[in-house]
Amino acid sequence: MPIYIYGCAHCGSELTVSHSMVEIMEDCEVCEVSGSLTRRPSIFSSVKKKPEQKQKVGDHVKSFIEEAKQDLNQQKDDLEKKNDWNIIRSIHFN
Ligand SMILES: [Zn+2]
């Protein structure tokens, strides 16, 4: 399973968790505030891919984080749609 890094907006903790791609962790295990976690992109792998662009690494990481945020929102939407479908199907078949 892929490993994700989450940052807590409440206590500033950084959590490294492994879960499947469709799952999203939102609750902080350290301060137990729900919905405080934001998934962070794996900066290390993106830097390794293009080591020659050292000057714009900061900008690259910034846009990468923005993309990751949008990706996260998209995943949330997808997850909600899937849940809706599961509800509809369970009503239909029961
Ligand atoms: Zn926390």
Cα-to-centroid distance, 70 and ligand 1 (Å) = 22
Residue type, 56: K
pLDDT of res. 27: 96
Residues 83 and 58 in one domain: yes
pTM of the model: 0.44
pLDDT of res. 12: 96
pLDDT of res. 50: 52
Cα-to-centroid distance, 85 and ligand 1 (Å) = 32
Residues 47 and 73 in one domain: yes
Give the integer Cα–Cα distance in Å for 66 and 52. 22
Residues 64 and 22 in one domain: no
Tens digit of each residue's pLDDT (9 = 90 or more) over 5-56:
999 999 999 999 988 888 999 999 999 999 999 998 765 544 445 555 566 6
Residues 63 and 86 in one domain: yes
* Domains held by the chain: number: 2
Check which CATH number belongs to the domain holding 24 and give it: 2.20.28
Alpha-carbon separation of residue 10 from 13, 34, 54, 65, 83 (angstroms): 8, 10, 32, 19, 28
The whole domain housing 74 covers 41-94
